[in-house]
Amino acid sequence: MSEPHEFRTIDTDVRYDGAILALRVDEVAMPGGRTAHREVVEHHGAVAVVAVNERDEIALVLQYRHPIGRRLLELPAGLLDGGPDEAPVEAARRELVEETGLAAELWSTLVDVAVSPGFTDEALRVYLATGISAAEQPDREDEEADMTVHWVPIDDAVHKVFSGEIVNATAVAGILALVAHRSGSVPLRDIDAPWTDKPTAFADRHAGS
């Protein structure tokens, strides 16, 4: 059996470099000796939280998303923009407090999601959080100032996924991963489990600028 082809990046050109993402065009070596250009959206990466209370309800937020022009039911989530020394689980703790005014005692890694690997390196780690309590919430701004928190029973959340009411990819993955875990056949990983596809290109370039 022949060795698998190595998709080497021969050249790269950053076309846009913004606050939360960048667009670059890579020239990539293809099988057969030719090259092709691939557009890549770089992203900070993010974390999200499936927070489950003692009534078996999931905390969801209703947030306006401008690219699609409407509010979506989502998991509490946020960017990995706290600096190179901030662990993903610490970012998740921060976002849970900021978006919902909640804290959690017990944390596990639930699922990792590569959002759309055909054109972006954006990836999210979703945590399961239990032992929920109230926490002091900072003031929210912009879209988050309009955000509301909704406690949804797990079964209802699953129905909302399959009815098309919950369409956010991270929420869909997190809710269904929780149900799979609860079936008894899927163990969870530690909070510091290896994260192969954690995005680094955008943060690394900004750290060196």
Q: Of 27, 57, 98, 144, which is the active-site residue? A: 144
Determine whether 54 is an active site residue.
no
Report the amino acid identity of residue 185: S
Structure tokens of 202? 């955008």
DSSP-assigned states of every residue in 123-154 = EEEEEEEEEEEE-PPPP--GGGGG-EEEEEEH
Gap between the Cα atoms of 41 and 199, Å rounded: 11
Tokens of 53: 């209370």
Q: Is 208 helix (H, G, I), strand (E, B) or coil?
A: coil
Q: Cα separation of 128 and 14, whole Å?
A: 36
Look at the alpha carbons of 196, 198, 199, 205 in this order and tell me if their dihedral is positive or negative: negative
Contact (CB, 8 A) for 35 and 50: no
Question: What are the b/e assignments for 43-59, b being 16+ CB within 10 Å?
Answer: bbbbbbbbbbbeeebbb
The residues carrying an active-site annotation are 144
